[in-house]
Structure 1
Amino acid sequence: MKTIGCNKLRACGYRSTSNGSRGSDGVSFFIIQGLSSLGDKQMILFVIVLLCYVIILGGNSSIIFVVLTDPKLSSPMYFFLSHLSFVDMVYTTTTIPKLLCSLLWGVTTISVPGCFLQMYFFIHLSVTSRSILTVMAYDRYVAICRPLRYGSIMSRPVQLLLVAGAWSFSAACSVPCVLLTWQEPYCGPNVVRHGWCDLSSVRQLACADTTVTNMVSLSSALVSLLSTGVLILSSYILIGVSISKMAAGERLKALGTCAAHLSVVTVSYTSASFVYISYRVGNFPPEVRIIVAVVYAALTPFLNPMIHSLRNKDLRDGIRKALRRFRSAAVSATKHVNTES
């Protein structure tokens, strides 16, 4: 396998193979290639990714804080939104810090168990995010198509059950393909041509036939994408039919409650489609595929707080109130310090 930045790896004492925890001829760590071929442009990309990561953490944590502290935001929609924000924060944290290290230092290493843990959480949280978007679509369907029964249908036990179902479904989709990839023998190259331990990139390093693993991974991906996509689409078809029968004023109000969620769904599935195309159509350079994957991993968590804040007046007002409370507390603390001095 031809690796990028070979001279740098040799200078650091890295080898393409290493004896260790995977057996007498198995690798004990993987080398994350990242975007080490970009040269001076790496620092520019590092600053951009770092700023995006800070915004992701700040925006999503603000939503969680406001939903937990503002009594007006106690409806099921905001309950699911806070869970989506939590998933987005953890999802990006599984990959972006390691990517930032590779951008800063050129190449980074990761242990074999650490690599597969990162792989698992990346896949698990990616599917969980779409599962919660599906739950939110069902919540919008009940609110618009069954408004008189909304309170009884979307009770707190049902909300918890839906969230638990989202996490369980994602585990069922991610565990088999990661376990099969883990059990493959890795006795040769150990340079992962990606920004993190991507499933397909790591599987290419296995020194055995991976046909079965490929089929299981493809099946899991299709099940997770198609099932959630079909359920979301079905919910919005039923919502559209119901909205078409409403008066103009009610129609605009119903569309307003769906606009933010529909925007996030569109961004999520569109970016996933670009990743699929970049990996399977045309001869894209590895760097382009990595950048596309980074955009896919960060775009939805980055835009989610902005879309919901811009399109949701209650959430926007809640964030303003929280900022005013923080400002008042800071002014009071400053005055107290000045008085004591």
Structure 2
Amino acid sequence: MGRPAALNDRAQILLRTLIERYIAEGQPVGSKTLSQHSGLEVSPATIRNVMSDLEEMGFVSSPHTSAGRIPTVRGYRLFVDSLLAVQPLKTLEIREIEEQLPVDSPQRTIAAASQLLSQFTHFAGVVMAPKRHEVLLKHVEFLQLSDRRVLLILVTGDGDVQNRIIQTMRQFGQSELQEAGNFLNQHCAGKTLASLVQLVQSELVRLKGDIVALMNAAVDVSTSLSSRTEEVVIAGEHQLLGISDLSSNVSRMKQLFDLFEQKTSLLQLLELGSRAEGVQIYIGNEAGLAPLDECSVIAAPYKVQGEVVGTLGVIGPTRMAYDRVIPIVDITARLLSSALSWGSLEGSRKEPV
């Protein structure tokens, strides 16, 4: 991190001390507090002069009801970019996150990640699910259940297993079901789900009429998967209700929960995070979304087999312990990447049951 040229060492120390005290106590910070906690041997008059300069530069502001000052979005931005000392997570905390991320199902893994983000930060945890249209087909199988009922098992490359019961016009023997599954696996395994749709459409004339129903059922399942829009999994929104910085503004809180419910704008913000490297921090109006003007979003991309497929993060008040939340988001993104990548490898080895 580079040192901001506009501020000398004394001003940086006082600004860092002000923000740290405000984050810890939630009250405007006065000269006496700064003198006690900054470690500087300067007069109260000098501190007041520095505070006046910081306010003029837009790093702090003075609430009308107090002689103390609070950080602005610009002040927070300088703080997280240049003055913040991030605290690494303890080994036990990292292990706890890792152990609670299942590898048997991508949906369960993503849901667990959002819950863990909320649990460890006491804010809202969000995860942008992977793009479904990029999912590959791994295996297709048809199993006879009864006279006219067939179980379709479709396994994707990321380990997701979809089961559908098909009601057929006649009874199929297991050899016929095996033939249909072999046909699809031979032509589509390792390709996108969209390729399955294209194959069946182009081969309908050549396929045996009775098996067409089985093929169409497989197409219906793959279409429902590939046409899903990206989803945002949110956990712990209720935690924000207990934060006075946010809950005191009922109108803004309603806008925030509307944002969580609609998800579209939030998805666009997270999409930006997936195009960047490492942890991204959006403070207040930097997010470009009015409901988040009093919030900060800390986000990081996650990967499957080395390819970025989504973003996760935390939404909380601008007055948050950035030194702790940033490493939580960073580590969770890394562990989610590992869990999903391992799960996709395991899923590729498993035979459907």
TM range (shorter): under 0.3
TM-score, normalised by the number of residues in structure 2: 0.24
**Which of these two proteins has the greater Rg computed from alpha carbons?**
2
TM-score, normalised by the number of residues in structure 1: 0.25
Which structure has greater helix proportion?
Answer: 1
Higher relative contact order (CA 8 A, sep 6+): 1
Which structure has greater strand proportion?
Answer: 2
